[in-house]
Amino acid sequence: MSFSGKIKEELERAESAPRHCRLAEMAAIYDFCGKKSEESDGKIVISSENELAVRKFFTLLTKTFNMNTDFVANAGGYAKSGANYRLEIGPGMAADIRSAIRVTTETMRSCCRRAYVRGAFLAAGSVSDPEKSYHLEIVCQDERQALFLAGLLSSFEIEAKTIIRKKYYVLYVKDGTSIVETLNVMGAHVALMDFENTRILKEMRNTVNRKVNCETANIGKTVMAAQRQIDDIRFLIECDSFDELPLSLREMAQLRISYPEATLAELGQMSTPPLGKSGVNHRLRKLSQAARSFGYKGGEL
């Protein structure tokens, strides 16, 4: 199952205990899945291809309102119609529900704002697999809805951005920390732990990769430097200038050629008397300068 799917299952099961929170979550699902165009006679129609959102609305409905015969109840309370799941509530009861689930940013308590975000995500949200990328979005029907939701998120200090995709206003959050905070706001605690675990592993892997790349690069540099030093020395030998060099440089040159893979420290240990890294480096540099002074052009840095 997708990461989004798991979150939605968790959110569908999550209980909104107080009545005010249940109403807020219903308000969100109604805002995002309500078919306003089919409500001319006053009924409420909830319709979505996402069964979890419709089921959650139904669950909240039965927990919050006294069901009566006015409620069009078939076996499950809602039914599949075409590609969508559909729930209809007759005009009498719909009026009560409509007035109960009216929400405004100003009057909403923090617990209800969380419940609303949860309902909105359940109805129209998705999160990409954190293994691949960090992206959480909620598809809003219009700008008003996007602004309302962005306002709720910003009350939790989560900054969401909006892009227009086709005719929709898509609210999205891109960085890992904000996604974790959004999951926290919605009460998706299991998903939050999963997300964090993946994020930690991913960052550890990146650190290890960076270190390996860095070490490989350093090894590469060392090998290239050694090769340049050997080229310089070969040139000196070939142009018969080698014997003119001081003994200390000739000794170093021989060590370098005999041990092409040795580090500067290792070359230093093999010298007589032993030398430090900077001493070795100094002599190798002298050899390069000598090669250049005899006209060697290769092995430029």
Binding footprint of Zn ion on the chain (CB under 5 A): 20-21, 109, 111-112
* Residue 290 to residue 254: CA distance in whole angstroms: 15
Quick one: tokens of 226?
């050694």
3-class state of residue 124 by DSSP:
helix
Of 80 and 109, CB closest to Zn ion: 109
Of 111 and 170, CB closest to Zn ion: 111
Give least dist CB 112 to Zn ion, A. Answer: 4
Give least dist CB 60 to Zn ion, A. Answer: 13
3-class state of residue 97 by DSSP:
helix
Of 152 and 253, CB closest to Zn ion: 152
Distance spanning both ends of the chain, measured CA to CA: 54
Strand intervals (E) in 40-143:
44-48, 79-81, 84-89, 125-127, 136-140
Give least dist CB 140 to Zn ion, A. Answer: 22
Give least dist CB 64 to Zn ion, A. Answer: 12
Of 29 and 236, CB closest to Zn ion: 29
Give least dist CB 115 to Zn ion, A. Answer: 6
Quick one: tokens of 34?
């309500």
Give least dist CB 19 to Zn ion, A. Answer: 8
* Residue 25 to residue 276: CA distance in whole angstroms: 72
Contact 125, 137 (CB under 8 A): yes
Of 5 and 18, CB closest to Zn ion: 18
Which value, to the nearest 10 degrees, does the dihedral of the CA atoms of residues 232, 237, 240, 242 take? Answer: 80
Quick one: tokens of 282?
């100094």
Of 8 and 113, CB closest to Zn ion: 113
Give least dist CB 16 to Zn ion, A. Answer: 7
For residue 146, with 0-12 CB atoms within 10 Å meaning exposed, 13-18 middle and 19 or more buried, which class applies? buried
Of 110 and 213, CB closest to Zn ion: 110
3-class state of residue 45 by DSSP:
strand
